[in-house]
Each structure stands twice: as structure tokens, then as C-alpha cells.
Amino acid sequence: MRKLFVAALLLTPALAMAKVPVVASFSIVADITREIGGDKVEVLSLVGADQDAHVFQPSPADVRKLASAKVFVVSGLGFEGWMPRMTRAAGFKGLTVVAAARVKPLAVQEEGHHENDGHDHGSVDPHAWHNPQNVMLYADAIAAGLAKADPASADEFRQRAAAYKGKLKELDAWAAQQFASVPAARRKVLTSHEAFGYLAARYQIRFLAPQGISTEAEASAKAVARLIQQVKKEQVKAVFFENMADKRLLQQLGKEAGVNPGGKLYADALSSDGKAGSYLQLFRSNVTSLLGAMR
């Protein structure tokens, strides 16, 4: 009897402070959501660290996770092509937060590179998180969405978003200052797929990529040959591998074009190697690696 009573006392506060069950589409959006939600949310990420969200195929367990969530946070701009079918399959009735809803989208550049891409990505580049100014908009969108799901914690979400945006602003100012110290002619690199358009636009960097906008695309022999010519002509300084992508094509390309390996860039996923455990770390690591190769 006494044991039961104690157990009931221990259980009650836990129930009273039930966390909002949130599903995030991939690791980067999950991290940003945890920053804003703090201990008021329980965030599950469908696509984990070092995994490729472009080719994700939801399992029945993933569908069940979404079915029991109250909020579904996605990046948007067509990045999660599998999302509409999955929300239907899960019978999801909760709130979908499109984090990039207020981002000014960039058009896909270099149309020719993804000519063999069978998947329809539209003409918009979805990788908006590679500009911290966009992630500030993510923070606001997520805070507003979480506030709808848990109105009692709205103030806390707003405060946490404001604090996080302060860090993003600092990060952006630091990156801008660093890149400005590198001559424009040296701000050129080669990488796997065109994930860095927003970074390129924000800090005037030229990225060349054989794989186009999605990792699903296969680079054609013609496209690869053309890229080798381009890399040589433009005197690209370094080739970077991505944490979730196949290295072979890029290794071959770098070798044929005589470009030095610059290290690893974190594109569409956080990592479990300790270098990009959060978005803030991911961004800082990418900028540091790029600067190292350009200088």
C-alpha cells in the first residue's frame, strides 16, 4: 500500500509535465527544434546523423512515430519529397511546421548538372540551412509552431529562439568577416552535390559539383568531363567530401583535375564524428575547412 502511494507521487509530476511529442524530418532540423523546445519537447529525427535525407524511405516504424506525434517539423522547399505520402500513410492530424516557409528561396543553378535526375525537385534549391540568416527564420517558424502545440510554454519558446538567433547572428558575422579576408579568385571549391548554394550566395563562394542538386542524380560521363575542364580552367583550390555522400566519383574527379583534398564538409546531416553534433558546430566546421583550403 505505502509502496503504491509513493509510486503514484513519483509518477504524477512526470505526467503533468508531459513533453510535446515532435518528429523532425532530419538531424539538422531536429537539432534546431531541440534548441527552441528545450525540455518541453521530445524530438525524434526520422533521418539520423550521417544519413542522406534525399533518398530516405520511411519504414513502418517511422510511420508509427509520426502517427503519434503532435508536431512534424520539416525544412521544406521540396527537400523532403517523401513527406506528403508519409503524412498520408501515418494519418497525421497534428501540426506540420515548414521551417523554411519565410526563407527567400534560391533558384537552382547550373541546370545542366542534374539532367539525369529522375526526381522532380522543381527549380528551387532546398538547402537553405547553409546560411545562418535563414536558420534565424527557421527558429522563428519553429517557435511559433511549438507555441501552437503548447501555448503555456509560448514565452519560453520565444525566449529560447531569441537566444539561439543571437548565436546565429554571431556565427554569420564571424563567417562573413573570415571569407572577406580571402580574395574572391581563391573562393572556389569542388564538392559532391550542389548543397551549398546558400553559403555560396551569402559569402560569395564558387562551388562546383558533379552531382547536381540531389544526391539521387547520377553524373553523366559528359558532365564529369565538362566539370574536369571547368575545375582546371577556374583553378579550383580544393575538393571536399560530404559526410553522407559517396566519395568515389569525387576522388576520381579531384585526381584527374589535379585538385588537393580539402577535407570533409557537412551538407545535409549532422555527424557522429564529434565535428558536427549540432548545427552551430556543423556550420563552424564547414567554414573553417573551406577557409583552410582557400588560404
CB of 71 to Zn ion, least distance (A): 24
Alpha-carbon 239 to chain mean position = 20
272 within 8 A of 50, measured Cβ to Cβ: yes
In the complex, least distance from residue 81 CB atom to Zn ion, rounded to whole angstroms: 11
Alpha-helix residue ranges (DSSP H) falling in 93-153: 132-149
Q: Is residue 108 near Zn ion by the rule CB under 5 A?
A: no
Candidates 195, 238, 239, 265; binder of Zn ion (CB under 5 A) is 195
Asked whether position 268 contacts Zn ion by CB under 5 A, the answer is yes
Cβ atoms of 209 and 192 closer than 8 Å: yes
Residue 125 binds Zn ion, judged by CB under 5 A: no
223 binds Zn ion per the rule CB under 5 A: no
When the beta carbons of 145 and 210 are compared against Zn ion, the nearer one is 210
Q: Which residue stretch of 3-11, 30-38, 68-76, 191-199 sits at the interface with Zn ion (rule: CB under 5 A)?
A: 191-199
The 8 Å CB, 24+ separation contacts for 78-83 are 78/121, 78/122, 78/124, 78/126, 79/25, 79/53, 79/54, 79/126, 79/127, 80/25, 80/26, 80/53, 80/56, 81/54, 81/119, 81/120, 81/121, 82/56, 82/57, 82/58, 83/25
Q: Judged by CB under 5 A, how many residues of this single chain contact Zn ion?
A: 2
Q: Pick the closer one to Zn ion by CB: 161 or 189.
A: 189
- The smaller minimum CB distance to Zn ion, of residues 90 and 245, is found at 245
Considering the complex, state which of residue 51 and residue 220 has its C-beta at the smaller distance from Zn ion.
51
> Where do contacts with Zn ion occur on this chain (CB under 5 A)?
195, 268
